[in-house]
Structure 1
């Protein structure tokens, strides 16, 4: 007999993408937490059924709801098979998923470190090959004079190295001395999937170049400030999120054999603030910022923001971009960059919120948090680029690098 939660299926926050499968428009359903390595491909026509997997509709009534919505016959057995397949792939929020999630979280915490998720896929797993790759990016852009070691922050992209290598090389060369002088590094990156505003971890991040030590005493202090449950509710997202990993590689490359303690922080979506709410009134942010300021007041800290900028075009559900559209995007990005350069957290958020984040700026949460933390800081733009995001080059991810003094 099915439990009440199985009778009223509730879809988790998952990754849904349009694909062509066997020549038919389809939807690819994947678990961003990778609790299971399974994924589902369903007909696009079944997409509306996912809307009714909200924990409020009995599975026996979903077919009828679809018939009313679509005006076509819908087989109840088909809906049941879909719900069962979602359950098998751990895509439903139910007891079965929560038990498997608890086991995965226990394995993550018990491991000696968080292994690199992208090594061997997005960049070389061999340390010597990886260093040669980053050396090549440096050589391609030429030498960049480093900023003073007293600098306080860095904004780095987290796009793949193949597309963003030149921007990475420019900003990390400019930031080299401040990064080497740091006694502690706050790694603040975009959480692309978790609904949690802030997520901490006590686990250590590893890359092919070594293991970065996490200062667990600082993590404990931050968790005490915002609450243990709130701090670690989305912790398993650290296991699969790429934003911190891609900057951690550059941090280790620049520092060489002198790792310093880091604090890995993921910052989640600001969609909750796009209807007029002010993130400055969120008590979790205020508690976290207050606690972090105490830390950076007593040690030479560098804040590293891992965030890309705009995501526009068909790859992100928008219209194809012409050359004129790309130039207009550059001008829109410049408005955002101007507020970052001024160290203006409130203005940075406002210029994005005024458009409802039409440009899909994924670096919004970590950059806002870092600007609030650094306070009264000035930024220097080191590089800007628009990277193609589809084969037709009608979609774009824009990125930039910046150092803060």
Structure 2
């Protein structure tokens, strides 16, 4: 088994025992360790591989600046910037193969920045007293971050917290040894969707695109999936995107906590990546099923998907607002952009006679798209439903044209 080296990050002035315990467990399993101190006021009992001074300087600041700020929030953000920068440098240099960060709320705030800085495929573990807490906004979670609750570990070592710390140490080392990073041996297509009960186009499109020499990654557009999609688009990982499920845009617009953030559906356009966009589930607002609907959609018809997830049907006016929002995002695209508009509906439940059918709302949305689609986006109205074979055929016609003219290369 090839040894892997793990970056162990924390405030060594106050959490030296716990961090050293994690490092010892990793070493006992045959792994290597690089230690990083992100303290501000105090000093560790023993020197770390990367000192707090090096961390602050990596972010363009100094420990003196952090102390002189007189504000713990400002100071920790200085350290977070430096820790994220240094962690990425170490990864790119091949010096570390995974990261584990320990902390309470302060340490977790920093940990989120460190993990977000590292690309997908690098094992990232946060051991925190607030793991899984609503304190943590979804938009700050890296696409493949793992969190373990630091139970009973607020102060000092004990048998309870050792159970958490040892699992985390073993998990990050095991992940670093087992991970199969993205191969990047074929150009990658990023696609958004939901399960086959509601959207089915990927069943036909994935094998068809693979036959053309492309790899296809389908992202579940329920908040975190959209975040992963956007982060990879921002990295330039995609040869093209097929963003057919923009529901997260509507979720954010209507105030749902199931959000991929305000920048959803912008990264590909900003990077100049060719994009084909459509309107799968545009008319639904997802919310946490065991909570009340967002105030903006309170009192509207609810479809319970399961005990975790429910959806609210948008009104005609909300659909118009959604249409304008989508068009405004497309207007910012710097690369080739096509909007395929299935005029017979955007999810399996909204077909005529279906439980979520609303012909007037659909007509309002279609008309608003037509009125506001930006000049730089090619609009293709399609007299079909998004789950019809005609939709997949239209997508492939556009994509094959891009291959033929060199917009997308194999």
Q: TM-score, normalised by structure 2?
A: 0.30
Structure having the higher Rg = 2
From the two aligned structures, give the one with the greater helix fraction: 1
Q: TM-score, normalised by structure 1?
A: 0.31
RCO comparison, higher one (Cα < 8 Å, 6+)? 1
